[in-house]
Amino acid sequence: MWTKALSGHSGCQVLLCESDARLFVRKISGSSDYNARLQVQAEKQARFESRFVSVPKVLDSGITNDGCYYFDMEYIRGVTLAEYMRRIEIGKIRGFVSRLIGHIVDVGNKSGYIKADVFSDKINALRQSFAALEADASVDMQLINRALAALEAHSWQSFTQSSCHGDLTLENIIVHDSELYFIDFLDSFYDCWILDISTLLQDAYALWAYRNWDIVDMNTQIRLAVFRDILMDELTAIDAGVWVNEVFYALLLKLLRIYPYTKDEKTIRFLNDKTALVLLILEQGGL
């Protein structure tokens, strides 16, 4: 079987494979410890249904000789939305955003409850992990403490349980033939549609998906600005704008949760900047 490694950050191996003149993608757990999570991912993907977007079909799954879980899925011959944003015809962005929001809200409606202490436990745990980071001079602890305080003071009541992607960055959406395909589903510590919107904002506002690019050229920046502003308008239009603040709280929590996994100083500085920006937006009472 012919294979080619695709880029992957999560420690999983992602292979493009050819067998019997058919291409497919095999995603293999980095170690057996990760098996359960990758299996949840495969199940989430297999169960996925939407009127607005698609997923690669899950074809097969199993365990490798090393005891690692893997699953095979359809190969989508396209480019990630992060890359596509460089060249997308500017007038087509609106349609993409509408579809994304349409999907997120559609599944967000089937709501249940998230236990209140899920958030407080997570924020507490975050405090602990930042205590270990205090020695790292590049981490702006004053900022972090302000952010943690804001998260603690927030009531997370309106975060209702609903199905969501879990890591909806522009890198995990593939564009092919004007269709959007979700990949790389994640089991986050909470499932809520707000999380997905905050992840999109993380790219649109904080250019997270582009953090490793040498330069984000002007055409891409303008496209992301259009993406961001349409997204904000659509978000503001839902229930007279009551969700806008919640989304920024979710984004703040997301940004803080990246710190403990971050090793390089460049990314830390990037996180400091973006955390400060989101905090300022929240402190000023929205946009």
Q: Which amino acid is at 278?
A: V
Q: For 219, left (φ over 0), alpha (ψ -120 to 50), or beta?
A: alpha
Q: How long, in residues, is the chain?
A: 287
283 binds another protein per the rule CB under 8 A: no
Out of 6, 63, 225, 237, which residue is the one contacting another protein (CB under 8 A)? 225
What span, in angstroms and rounded, lies between the C-alpha atoms of 30 and 51? Answer: 33
Contact call for residue 237 and another protein (CB under 8 A): no
Cβ-based nearer residue to ligand ATP, 134 or 179? 179
| Residue 221 partner contact from ligand ATP, another protein, Mg ion, none using kind-dependent CB cut-offs of 5 to 8 Å | another protein
Binding-site partner at residue 25 among another protein, Mg ion, ligand ATP, none, CB < 5 to 8 Å by type: ligand ATP
**At closest approach, how far in Å is the CB of 73 from ligand ATP?**
5
Q: Which is nearer to ligand ATP, 56 or 108 (CB)?
A: 56
Interaction between residue 285 and another protein (CB under 8 A): no
Residue 172 lies near Mg ion (rule: CB under 5 A): yes
Residue window 44-83: x/- pattern of binding to ligand ATP, with contact defined by CB under 6 A: ------------x----------------xxxx---x---
Give the residue, chosen from 103, 154, 165, 228, that forms a contact with another protein under the rule CB under 8 A. 228
CB burial readout 152-174, b (16+ within 10 A) else e: eebebeebbbbbbbbbbbbbbbb
| Residues 175-194 within binding reach of Mg ion (CB under 5 A) | 184
Q: By CB under 5 A, is residue 203 in contact with Mg ion? A: no
Under rule CB under 8 A, which residues in 202-221 are in contact with another protein?
205, 217-219, 221
